[in-house]
Amino acid sequence: AGADVLRADLDGRRVVVSAGGTREPLDPVRYLGNRSSGKQGWALARVAAARGAEVTLVAANVDQPAPFGVRVVPVGTAEELRTAMLAEAPDADVVVMTAAVADFRPESVATTKLKKDSASEPDSVPLVRNPDVLAELVTKRPSGQLVVGFAAETGDADADVLAHARAKLARKGCDLLVVNDVSGGGVFGRPDNAAVVLAADGTATEVPHGTKDAVAAAVWQAVLPRLG
């Protein structure tokens, strides 16, 4: 933070960022959610606006005021996020998906509150898959648009973080994938929340610090040379 006010290297660029975590309703008072705060997407939007971009933030349950100069489109569910992103993305030069999109949602939503000791008391919750918004944005993108995904990965018995991330980058078809190593150290030589920007062209750029602002600046540095 700080130095970005001196730059205007994103001047006139149109940027759409998704942030936060979707909530999938179960009944009028309950939902399935996740712990995403939206701070990373918020930082990306703030930094892009400070560097001259025209920024729209599609915010899924983000409990923060709009960053200065950023237009915010609030959404709740994955389906709402998809609709908003498909509406906003066609005019964008860069689309960044930081939102934690629920992979599943309850198959049906009760119109009235589920009550204990009643016919409506559930003993399990059937789930269905949500659409993959990032993959859809990639297939529908106008030529020249850059699409950036985010992924939190851990190494496991099958593969290390980087191998999982490269496979995900290929599967999604995006241009850049920002990878947070959440396995608690080792793989990239950093114990704390290391991030790596993987590009479809094969390059991997380590982000020197784990803060959200540092990651945001690193993402825009990786985006800049790839813009037409």
Beta-carbon contacts of 79 under 8 Å, excluding residues fewer than 6 positions away, are 105, 130, 131
What minimum distance in Å lies between the beta carbon of 160 and ligand CTP? 15
What minimum distance in Å lies between the beta carbon of 227 and Ca ion? 28
Active site residue 193: no
Query: Does position 97 bind ligand CTP by CB under 6 A?
Result: yes
What minimum distance in Å lies between the beta carbon of 156 and ligand CTP? 11
Query: Does position 60 bind ligand CTP by CB under 6 A?
Result: no
Instruction: Please report the DSSP string for 128-194 in residue order.
Output: EEPP-HHHHHHHHPPTT-EEEEEEEE---SS--HHHHHHHHHHHHT-SEEEEEE-SSSSTTS-SS--
Report 98-127 residues binding Ca ion (CB under 5 A): 103
Distance of CA 182 to the CA centre of its chain: 16
Contact predicate 200/169, CB 8 Å = yes
Q: Is 221 helix (H, G, I), strand (E, B) or coil?
A: helix
Query: Does position 31 bind ligand CTP by CB under 6 A?
Result: no
Using a 10 angstrom Cβ sphere, with 0-12 exposed, 13-18 middle and 19 or more buried, the burial of residue 122 is exposed
Q: Is 99 helix (H, G, I), strand (E, B) or coil?
A: coil
What's the rounded Cα separation, in Å, for the pair 21 and 17?
13
Q: Is 44 annotated as a binding residue?
A: no
Catalytic one among 34, 61, 180, 193?
Answer: 34
What's the rounded Cα separation, in Å, for the pair 99 and 101?
6
What six digits make up the tokens of 71?
Answer: 């237009």
Q: Is 39 annotated as a binding residue?
A: no
User: Of 9 and 132, which has the nearer Cβ to ligand CTP?
Assistant: 132
Report 121-150 residues binding ligand CTP (CB under 6 A): 130, 132-134, 149-150
Query: Does position 103 bind ligand CTP by CB under 6 A?
Result: yes
Q: Is 168 annotated as a binding residue?
A: yes
Report 142-201 residues binding ligand CTP (CB under 6 A): 149-151
Q: Applying CB under 5 A, what is the total number of residues that bind Ca ion?
A: 1
Q: Where does this chain bind ligand CTP (CB under 6 A)? A: 78, 97, 99, 101, 103, 130, 132-134, 149-151
Q: Where does this chain bind Ca ion (CB under 5 A)? A: 103
Q: Which residues are annotated as a binding site?
A: 103, 113, 131-134, 150, 168, 172
Q: Which residues are catalytic?
A: 34
